[in-house]
Amino acid sequence: MFNVNEIMQTNEMIDGQHLDIRTITMGISLLDCTDSDMAKACKKIYDKIARFAENLVKVGDEIETEFGIPIVNKRISVTPIALIASASDALDYSPYAKALDDAAKVTGVDFIGGFSSLVHKGYTKGDRILIDSIPNALSSTELVCSSVNIATTKTGINMDAVAHMGKIIKDAAQLTATRGGLACAKLVVFANAVEDNPFMAGSFHGLGEPESVINVGVSGPGVVAHALSEVKGEAFDVVAETVKKTAFRITRMGQLVAQEASSRLGVPFGIVDLSLAPTPAVGDSVAVILEEMGLSVAGTHGTTAALALLNDAVKKGGVMASSHVGGLSGAFIPVSEDMGMVAAAQSGILTISKLEAMSCVCSVGLDMIAIPGDTDAATISAIIADEAAIGVINNKTTAVRIIPVPGMDVGEIVDFGGLLGTAPIMAVTQGDSSLFISRGGRIPAPHDSLRN
């Protein structure tokens, strides 16, 4: 139960420190929507989503009004479409994306995730068709998000899929060249993807999930930054304890909203994802948190250590506040969505190499990074491979959401709008990775994966 003091503290965090519920995400299984006739399958998909999520936005708005807690997004995730569409003999799965987009629009949600494929050990026919369909699907829809899992600690890294995704990202960027390569902002390449992630663009409804489920993603970098501003000069023990207590309060709010949404919608409560997800708003920044710890700018020496402390303390504080914590749960470092990260990148101190090092200790990986439009597919694939290796060896989720912005070069700025923010074009390391990427095959799973 919330006491009066907790409620007052929560109100202060909402009013002045950018605290919000980032998303209520309804997961929906589409396994019963398979059909050998693509048109029939698409109708089943549309009808089921429209039926299950009919009241999602309405309920979210009601909770927001009654409790005074901002809920930024209402979203839907579905079973990876490669599994559903493979029952048909279609050679292009873009119509499935259109069905998802139409269903998202009729329900009023902000995004729908699940135009996805799981190829960490190899391709099925449906997987290959879905991946080939991604550029057209994302460029011709507004609300659809896509993800591809190319590696796990148990299976290793599917380097054929890594090479494939470099080309797909280039094609998706080109098809949305007039919008800064926007399609790539809706596409995530994963290692060790989780089944209950409520955050876009990587959300999908896993095979181990129930028929439908409510997952909530909280946020609050501004709240943590404010709390740390009150312990300036204190030892790191105090810093860690401050983050833990703040994460506890943030997650308690998420638990309340999740339970309310679950009860009102008649859908089981899944998890609270307690990730610190920044926004373009000034002060709502993971970079600012790192700077509150004593760094002059995010990306300077000490940044990885500071981020490790933050991520660990967030998890420790949050796990005590909710009966079910899941998703990614930690700290996100998306460049374009974090004004502090943007400033650090523009200064030249925050580089892709440093972000890669930081991804060893944060929740996801290389997220919302804009690079020169003429970057070749092999280089993009090599960046994906490096990030996947970090995830596989460390048995954690890592991801790449990278945008080669057509016609732009290092130092220029691309504006994606809304929560996607503004990104400086960052330099990639010079060199040629094409022979490495062209080898194909599979990088074996590490010895640590043999745990049975």
Residue pair 153/445 in contact by the 8 Å Cβ criterion: yes
Tokens 């972000």 — which residue? 355
| Those residues with Cβ within 8 angstroms of residue 179's Cβ, 6 or more apart along the chain or in another chain | none
Give the tokens for residue 365.
Answer: 């990986």
Alpha helix stretches (DSSP H) within 76-196: 81-85, 94-107, 125-139, 159-175
DSSP 56-94: HHHHHHHHHHHH---EEEEEEEES-HHHHHTTS--S--H
pLDDT value of position 332 = 83
376 half-sphere exposure, CB direction, 13 A CA radius: 11
Task: Identify the H or E element spanning 422.
Answer: strand 422-424
Measured torsion, CA atoms of residues 27, 29, 35, 41, in degrees rounded to the nearest 10: -20
Give the tokens for residue 444.
Answer: 């074996």
DSSP 258-297: HHHHHHHHT--EEEEE--B---SSTT--HHHHHHHTT-SS
Residue pair 209/270 in contact by the 8 Å Cβ criterion: yes
pLDDT value of position 7 = 45
The DSSP bridge pattern shows strands 111-118 and 413-415 to be unpaired
Rounded CA separation 233/230 (Å) = 9
**Stated length of the chain:** 452
pLDDT tens, position by position, 84-129: 999 999 999 999 999 999 999 999 999 999 999 999 999 999 999 9
Closest residue by Cα to residue 274 from 320, 343, 339, 214:
320
Give the tokens for residue 24.
Answer: 């209520």
Asked if residue 201 has a cis previous peptide bond (ω within 30° of 0), the answer is yes
- In the predicted model, what is the mean pLDDT of the chain? 90
Radius of gyration of the chain (CA): 21
Helices (H) and strands (E) in the chain, counts: 15, 13
How many other C-beta atoms lie within 10 A of the C-beta of residue 268? 13
CA angle (449 as vertex; 120, 205 as ends), nearest 5: 40
- Domain-wise residue ranges, the chain: 1-332
Low-confidence ranges of the chain (pLDDT < 70): 1-18, 279, 281-283
Rounded CA separation 265/93 (Å) = 31
The predicted model scores a pTM of 0.92
Residue pair 131/164 in contact by the 8 Å Cβ criterion: yes
CATH of 1-332 given 3.40.50.2000, 3.50.50.60, 1.20.140.10, 3.20.70.20: 3.20.70.20
113 half-sphere exposure, CB direction, 13 A CA radius: 27
Residue pair 425/405 in contact by the 8 Å Cβ criterion: yes
